[in-house]
Amino acid sequence: MPRIPVLALALVALVVMIIVVAVSAYRLLSPSGDVVVLPDFAGQNLDTAQTSAARFGVSLRVVAHHNDEKIAKDAILGQFPAPGEHVRQGRTVDVIVSDGPTVSAVPDVTGLSVRDAQIALGNARLDLGKVTSQHSDAVFAGRILSQNPIAASNVPAGTKVDVAVAQGRPQEYVPNFIGLSLPFSTVAAKQTGVTLGPPLWLPIAKNAKPRGIVVAQDPLPGQALNVAEKIILHVSGGPPPTPTPLPTLPPSPTPFPTEAASAAPESPAPSAAPSNAPSPSAAPAARSVRVQVALPSLPAPKRVRVVLVDASGSRDLFDQTTKGGFTLQLDITLTGAGTVQTYVEGVLTNTNQL
């Protein structure tokens, strides 16, 4: 027999053997059963889809979870093989399940302005909803009184938060107490309706302001004042005491009078002609005076200055941003005649003669 036909027969036998092994492996590894058309499981609850898949002779396997703003939690987002594919019964279908919308914690926006609340809600992936007005004497006008949903509640991202905004009580600002004495600051705070916290006394230090003078405050002057917020005054403890000098001993008495000491002083002869030299004038006397200054009532906070002008010069008695409408009681040291001048935003509005 020729050699080539033998090789051809051997090659054909090898091909047939490979086909038989491949078919056997496919039948062994592939699901057995009838061919079915896969239904569409998308949008169905996972439990419901499992029941539906069992009727078709297939099973479901969850391979991933994803948040979705429109698909409810535990609903199927997608599947593989796709709907309409022909598969044998016993096949496992991979599915992706929704974890529902992304959840955000609602921030507390009470006490904020509408603009600041909108920023805070945006950072939490929430939106500002309906804005209503409500009269209140406890919260400054323009500040948020209440919110819905309440703070710290968990809601889906994109939820609208409704707020109620206060009306009626105007915004107040922090007065300037720097440079004033602590007793005067206490009286002024009571008259302006602000609350002071316990003062912070600073330690005694070299070159410090006199004891009891306000050198700093928190919050700073001119800042918006929150309801029930207390102002903390930093009060100087004063400079260290000046050491008392030792007393000077009197000179020892002279045992014998000297000629210069015993000699009588000569009196100048009286002059018949009057002197043309002017006599020196007495310096203006300094005295302590208590004055009352009525500050004008202003529609909005403005800078108000009270200035004392006397023989020693001029100095500020009061300088702060305020709406006025109250009376200052000031203990001052006056040299000679003087005036107390009141300025509003640099404009002279009143002069009191002392």
| Average model confidence (pLDDT) across the chain | 84
Q: How far is CA 276 from CA 15, 61, 273, in A?
A: 151, 124, 9
CB 348 within 8 A of CB 314: no
Among 60-69, 281-290, 308-317, where is mean pLDDT lowest? 281-290
Q: How far is CA 28 from CA 25, 59, 147, in A?
A: 5, 19, 65
Share of the chain above pLDDT 90, in %: 47
- Provide CB contacts within 8 A for 62, sequence distance 6+: 46, 95, 96, 97
pLDDT tens per residue across span 32-58: 578 999 999 999 999 999 999 999 999
Instruction: Look up residue 255 and give its amino acid.
Output: P
pLDDT at 274 over 70: no
Confidence of residue 181 (pLDDT cuts 50, 70, 90): very high
- Which pLDDT score, from 0 to 100, does residue 132 have? 95
Buried b (16+ CB within 10 A) or exposed e, 55-94: eeebebeeeeeeebeebeebbbbbbeeeeeeebeeebebe
pLDDT tens per residue across span 299-327: 888 898 988 888 888 888 888 888 888 88
- Which pLDDT score, from 0 to 100, does residue 23 have? 59
- Which pLDDT score, from 0 to 100, does residue 330 have? 80
Domains (range + CATH), the chain: 34-101 (3.30.10.20), 103-169 (3.30.10.20), 172-235 (3.30.10.20), 286-353 (2.60.40)
The rounded distance, in Å, linking the Cα atoms of 154 and 100 is 13
CB 175 within 8 A of CB 320: yes
pLDDT at 271 over 80: no
The rounded distance, in Å, linking the Cα atoms of 152 and 94 is 37
Give me the mean pLDDT over the 254-262 stretch.
46
The rounded distance, in Å, linking the Cα atoms of 143 and 106 is 18
- Which pLDDT score, from 0 to 100, does residue 175 have? 94
- Which pLDDT score, from 0 to 100, does residue 251 have? 60
pLDDT tens per residue across span 222-249: 888 877 789 999 999 999 887 766 666 5
Buried b (16+ CB within 10 A) or exposed e, 128-152: beeeeeeebeebbebbbbbbeeeee
Give me the mean pLDDT over the 209-230 stretch.
90
- Which pLDDT score, from 0 to 100, does residue 161 have? 97
Confidence of residue 176 (pLDDT cuts 50, 70, 90): very high
The rounded distance, in Å, linking the Cα atoms of 62 and 125 is 29
Residue 122, helix vs strand vs coil? helix
The closest of 305, 299, 301 to 349, measured between CA atoms, is 305
pLDDT tens per residue across span 9-26: 777 778 878 886 665 555
pLDDT at 1 over 50: no
Give me the mean pLDDT over the 189-193 stretch.
89
Q: Give helix then strand counts, H and E, for the chain.
A: 5, 22
pLDDT at 5 over 60: yes
Give me the mean pLDDT over the 139-164 stretch.
93
pLDDT tens per residue across span 82-125: 999 999 999 999 999 999 888 899 999 998 999 999 999 999 99
- Which pLDDT score, from 0 to 100, does residue 202 have? 93
Write phi, then psi, for 283 (nearest 5 degrees).
Answer: -70, 145
Beta bridge partners of 332: 289
Assessment of whether the complete model's pTM goes beyond 0.75: no
Write phi, then psi, for 165 (nearest 5 degrees).
Answer: -105, 135
